[in-house]
Amino acid sequence: MNYRHAFHAGNHGDVLKHIAVLALCDALTAKPAPLFALDTHAGRGLYPLDGNSAQRTGEAEGGIGRLLAEAPKQPAIGRYLAAVRACRAEHGPAAYPGSPWLLAHALRDDDRIAACELQPEEAAQLKHHFDNDPRVAVHARDGYTGMKALLPPKLGATRFNRGLVLIDPPYEAQLEEFDTALGALRDALARWPQGTYVLWYPIKRRRSLQSFYRRAATLPAKSVMTAELLVRADDSPLRMNGSGLLLLNAPWQFDRTLDAVLPVLARTLGETADASGAITWLKQGD
């Protein structure tokens, strides 16, 4: 695997994903029972946006850079920007938090986080970042096999009845990655049906995703929805024109949170008049 997230950290796809992750953490921690969070493709957890990799693509400028400059007055976006500023206060003005850092930032002392990363160098950096955080266990392993090993979650004799699984694969296999991810989700739901699951995916041509939507709707979850952000028209196979989140068993009324976020992101991060954001229910719970 050659993918390195450092080239893409802080881009519009990260913005969508990370706003949703923090909002999910806030919704889930509204109840007192301890939570378990699993990040299957965790990366290194922290990225320098002034580093060579990020500077070579410049993608962060059209994502977190633009959002910080505009600072929209929308609560979920404000929550995310506050987390980014907290990360920078701790790690320097060019730091950008990956999803493991955001999970650790948002969750509580009695919650637990497992972060899987297959690439040795990235896994070593991830472990270094969380050496002093007893809540976080770093696993240098494939995230999909990690789902099989770690779900249903337990710590000693304690089982976690609630929590979040974030799947953010590199899509180096392109459309074949959807087959792998959907298979992993189906297996995970059989193991831990009450968990909340989030799968991030890139959008180039949306029509190529129709099979993915149909199969996702058949997953044995109580509810299945997508939240998508396009920064330009979805008609080019050569670039990422937007991204989406497949959400299974999202907390009650979570769609309203994202429905308020997406138009603001489309206005702020959109690059053409075709920019848009939308929620789609594939299966709606009772």
Active-site residue list: 168
Give the integer Cα–Cα distance in Å for 181 and 102.
22
17 neighbors 200 (Cβ within 8 angstroms): yes
Q: Spell out the SS3 assignment of the chain.
A: CCCCHHHCCCCHHHHHHHHHHHHHHHHHCCCCCCCEEEECCCCCCEEECCCHHHHHHCHHHHCHHHHHHHCCCCHHHHHHHHHHHHHHHHHCCCEEECHHHHHHHHCCCCCEEEEECCCHHHHHHHHHHCCCCCCEEEECCCHHHHHHHHCCCEECCEECCCEEEEECCCCCCCCHHHHHHHHHHHHHHHHCCCCEEEEEEEECEHHHHHHHHHHHCCCCCCCEEEEEEECCCCECCCCCCEEEEEEECCCCCHHHHHHHHHHHHHHHHCCCCCCEEEEEEEECCC
Rounded distance between C-alpha atoms, residue 35 and residue 110, angstroms: 8
